[in-house]
A = this chain, B = another copy of it.
Amino acid sequence: MSTPRKTPTMADVARLAGVSPMTVSRAFKQDASVSEHTRSAILEAADRLGYVFDSTASNLRSQRTDFVAVTIPSINNANFADTVRGLSEGLKARGLQILLGYTDYDINEEERLIEQLLRRRPEAIVLTGGRHTPRARRLLENASIPVIETWDLPETPVGHVVGFSNAAAVRTMVDHFVSTGIERIAFIGGDADRDTRGTDRRAGFIAAMTEHGLQADRLIAAGAPPISMREGADAMGRLLNDLPDTQAVICVSDLSAFGALTECQRRGVDVPGQISVAGFGDYEIANICVPSLTTLNPFPREIGTRAAKLILDVLDGHQTEPATIIVAPELMRRHSSR
């Protein structure tokens, strides 16, 4: 019925409360020196007008945005969700928010996303993974804000690192199997060259097998990363058909490992009696499915909290050199392996 009235500004609130806009501004910060009396009058005026603080203006003038940009491969992944949760809790105390973007496991998409995020002038940026396009790298280097790479251990980091070597992690799993006398081990993963962590895990598998003097030729490519439960199941089907003497299979993630497990169930193949199955990530499903899944726990939340602490240290000037913090995954022995 009325014309779409302009959203009220601080000036409107100031007029109604009988103070200057500057005082309104101060009243909206928690620490500012405004008398209780004035502040409550201002807040009441703001409430009456339905005033909502405009952070676009605030950000421009103060040259601070109070948020940290975070890129994750997918918004539907319990591991990355836990890392974000750890980050978010660690940053909350300092009033830092998280601006989240997802890359769909694609470094070209990541490049676009990084540019979008940097345009919004975050205080720091947290990346999942340590491999980027050359342009993305340049953008990050020029940004003059703290850059944290996580879930990886890049050879030449852009800035700080909180993560682990995906290759070394899989080596742990291979060593475990070999130590129990298993030698014919397969690896189920996605097609190479997209999900860089998956590719690193495959490389780690091959390197570890080779070092043990074993054949690293049981490699099943199961489609574009991230591979699904269904793709894990299909891959297991092919493995059982083509290489039935395989004693153990390491899957690139718990989700595909669970799919593989169900394929065994459908075919009446006993796990771990006939074949052992292992995953990666220690998702909830690994602990509850029957049989439960042997896997690697990468401590995703820990990665988030350590990254958050690092960001605060850097912003406070307590940390000036690039840091590399290693959070090593831990082997979780369960019932899907002997």
- A interface, CB within 8 angstroms of B: 4-5, 7, 50, 52-57, 59-60, 65, 74-78, 81-82, 84, 97, 99-100, 115-116, 118-121, 138-139, 142-144, 228-230, 233, 258-259, 262, 265-266, 284-285, 287-290
Q: Report the minimal beta-carbon distance from A120 to chain B, rounded to whole angstroms.
A: 5
What is the total number of copies of this protein in its complex?
Answer: 2
The 3 closest A-B pairs by CB, nearest first: A76-B81, A50-B142, A56-B59
B84/A75 in contact, CB under 8 A: yes
Q: Report the minimal beta-carbon distance from A4 to chain B, rounded to whole angstroms.
A: 6
Contact residue among B55, B76, B259, B290 (Cβ-Cβ distance under 8 Å from A78): B76
- Chain B: which residue is nearest A77 at the CB level? B76
A262/B233 in contact, CB under 8 A: no
Interface of A, helix, strand, loop or mixed by DSSP = helix
Which of A50, A56, A265, A290 is most buried by chain B, counting CB atoms within 10 A of its CB?
A: A56
B56/A121 in contact, CB under 8 A: yes
Q: Tell me which residues across on chain B come within 8 A of A290, comparing CB atoms.
A: 262, 265-266
Q: Tell me which residues across on chain B come within 8 A of A99, comparing CB atoms.
A: 99
**Bound Cα distance A253, B139 (Å):** 42
- Chain B: which residue is nearest A88 at the CB level? B102
Q: Tell me which residues across on chain B come within 8 A of A143, comparing CB atoms.
A: 52
Which of A60, A78, A82, A230 is most buried by chain B, counting CB atoms within 10 A of its CB?
A: A60
Q: Tell me which residues across on chain B come within 8 A of A259, comparing CB atoms.
A: 288
A7/B76 in contact, CB under 8 A: no
B144/A7 in contact, CB under 8 A: yes
B97/A116 in contact, CB under 8 A: yes
Which of A75, A118, A142, A284 is most buried by chain B, counting CB atoms within 10 A of its CB?
A: A75
